Amino acid sequence: MNRHFDRWCRATRRLVGVGVALVLCLTLAGGGAAHAAAENPLEPLDTSSPQATYLAFLEQVALLEELLIEYERNRSEATQLAFSAALSDVEALFDLSDVADANLEEVGVTTFASLADILNRLPAPDVDEIPDIDDVEEAEAQRDVTLPSGDESAVLLGGGLTSYTLPGTEITIERVEEGSRSGEYLFSTDTVASLPGWREEVDDLPVNEDVVVGDWVQEEADLTGHLVPRWLVNALPDVFDSTVLGTPLWKVLVDVVIVLVVVVAALLWYRYVGRRGTQGSVSGYVFRLSTPIVLIVLITAARRFMVEQVNHSGDVATIANLLVTAVFWAMSAWAFWLLAKLVVEWVISTPRISDGTVDAHLLRLVGKVVSVAGAFALAWVGLSRLGIPTVGLGVGAGVVGLAVGLAATGTLENLIGGITLYADRPFAVDDNVRIDDDFGKVEEIGPRSTSIRKLDDTRVVLPNSDVSRFKVTNFSERRHIQFLHVVGVRYETTIDQLRMIVQSVDAALRDHPDVVVDADHPRVRVVKFGASSIDIEVRARVDTDGFPEFQRIQEELLLMIFELVESAGSTFAFPSTTAYLVDDAGLPPSTATDAEAP
């Protein structure tokens, strides 16, 4: 008894729902849809069940019919925006997940027009037979349900009601299983892809009674924005109304003219800024950066005019959308690449960083990496917007990157070596260094190599990978230069003379204005009895870090030592050999006899 009562209640609710739906459709046809939309224009379309999605589409068709009539009667920006907004809302009823982002708007419009024309030519299905929210909830709860009519067009799986196909058609409403719209019932992706073809198949069928707009596809093709005078379009010869790639010929010609204007304007601007600014400077990058920015502005304005005023459609709109999207993201990648370089050069131009230093070269290296990575990321986003699968491209890019990395191992080592030089900072430009066996002044520190100007004016270029491994001596970092000489005096020099030389040289060094005096320096000591001289070591620190200045002071000190040695009555020794001649007659006879005795 209770089961029959429940079924009776359920059937009653359906009949009431059908009655309300019919009243609503009649109300929409009479202008009630506009009033309902005005009450809450932000309320989303109901997609909670196949029936709700189907009725929501009929409501939008009725609303768009009214708005189209109002727009044709009063061609103003307000009426055009109202019609465009309602047309955009209807896209929420379709599963456009397989459509490229660049063509979402065009595919949405084409899908709506095709489906509206098909439904306007086919017999209307019994709304009561389309599963409603109660059927969906019951299917979810029981995992098994029999529709009142026994219709097998509803697919019931373990997850509940997953799809419904309108009787006598292949138009399917499916439940979305993933993403932000999971659980909603939308016209399936296969339906979206097939609707334009199905629309051509029913073109010869008569339009149902009480249909206001019998050919939405043609209406969309002929529709123009409020800035395009209708009288001007009507005044065109009939040949311009012929359809080319799904849109009137005159719209194709207007699109071509707009594209040519954008291209010519961009080329003129590029030539104009190409003569200004210095290549590689801040001003040069500023002028170069203006080219992609100007082109982005031009193509954005051109696309808006073509979409909102010319209102191209069909394959022409698809091609134009793909072209504009590709150029937009390509220019965005170019602009980012130039902007990164501009920022780097602007930082280098500040007083804190000098051009040619390791800081400047590392900044340029980082700028190149950032600019390439950013441009690549933007190009990647652009490809995804065009509907190109980026997963396969990512795998291919990874393989290519690995191959390039293996082929450019030496280059990568040098780049890493350059980063190591920046981190350690063992020397800077203009420093006098010895790297391995090469001594000279550092001229340039690049991302891959370091250049040294040797004393003989030859230029040596060392890979940074080698520089980071070699022993580096930076003579420019020393605070003083050591004066170290060994003075050899003759062995004929007496003890008193030696003491006088040591004391006088030590005192003279301490009195010299360019000699550093501390606890350990200067030091003058007798250190060795050599083969031909008595060696006195003279050790001091000269207060300079420049080698030419050191040589001048060293000359003064050496001459001073020479004078002090001579004033002490001695002189310098030089390698010599002393021969001693003696008369050796052998041992005395008695000594020899004693030695021979047993």
513 pLDDT higher than 60: yes
Mean pLDDT across the stretch 94-109?
A: 86
Element holding 523 (H helix, E strand) = strand 523-529
The pLDDT mean for the chain works out to 79
What pLDDT score does 537 carry?
Answer: 93
Mean pLDDT across the stretch 491-497?
A: 90
DSSP at 350: S
Mean pLDDT across the stretch 200-220?
A: 88
What pLDDT score does 101 carry?
Answer: 81
75 pLDDT higher than 70: yes
pLDDT tens digits, 215-268: 898 888 888 888 888 888 888 888 888 888 878 888 889 889 999 999 999 899
Domain map of the chain by residue range?
A: 12-222, 244-407, 413-476, 478-567
Span of 32-36, 387-391, 419-423, 454-458 with lowest mean pLDDT: 32-36
What pLDDT score does 393 carry?
Answer: 53
In this structure, the dihedral spanned by the alpha carbons of residues 299, 303, 306 and 307, taken in order and rounded to 10 degrees, is: 180
Other beta carbons within 10 angstroms of residue 207's beta carbon come to 13
What pLDDT score does 55 carry?
Answer: 93
7 pLDDT higher than 70: no
The pLDDT confidence band at residue 530, using thresholds 50, 70 and 90, is confident
CATH numeric code, 413-476: 2.30.30.60
What pLDDT score does 56 carry?
Answer: 93
pLDDT tens digits, 539-586: 999 988 778 888 899 999 999 999 999 898 888 888 766 676 766 666
What pLDDT score does 154 carry?
Answer: 61
pLDDT tens digits, 283-340: 888 888 888 999 999 989 988 888 888 887 878 888 888 888 888 889 999 899 888 8
Mean pLDDT across the stretch 33-51?
A: 66
Q: For residue 244, count CB atoms less than 10 angstroms from its CB and return exposed for 0-12, middle for 13-18, buried for 19 or more.
A: middle
What pLDDT score does 585 carry?
Answer: 65
pLDDT tens digits, 183-199: 899 999 999 999 999 99
What pLDDT score does 228 carry?
Answer: 87
14 pLDDT higher than 50: no
What's the distance, Cα to Cα, between the start and end of the chain in Å? 157
Q: Which residues pair with 482 in a beta bridge?
A: 541
Span of 28-32, 79-83, 171-175, 349-353 with lowest mean pLDDT: 28-32
The pLDDT confidence band at residue 42, using thresholds 50, 70 and 90, is low
What pLDDT score does 160 carry?
Answer: 74
Element holding 384 (H helix, E strand) = helix 358-385
Q: DSSP string covering 280-343, please?
A: TSHHHHHHHHHHHHHHHHHHHHHHHHIIIII---HHHHHHHHHHHHHHHHHHHHHHHHHHHHHH
What would the two tokens of residue 588 be?
């005395």
The pLDDT confidence band at residue 409, using thresholds 50, 70 and 90, is low
Provide the 3-class DSSP secondary structure of residue 55: helix
Planar angle of CA 278, 283, 284, nearest 5 degrees: 45
Q: Rounded to 5 degrees, what are φ and ψ at 248? A: -60, 150
What pLDDT score does 95 carry?
Answer: 92
84 pLDDT higher than 60: yes
Could you give the C-alpha distances from 99 to 108, 389, 400, in angstroms and in order? 9, 12, 29
Number of H helices and E strands in the chain, helices first, is 19, 15
Domain with residues 478-567, CATH architecture? 2-Layer Sandwich (3.30)
Mean pLDDT across the stretch 352-375?
A: 72
What pLDDT score does 293 carry?
Answer: 92
What pLDDT score does 152 carry?
Answer: 53
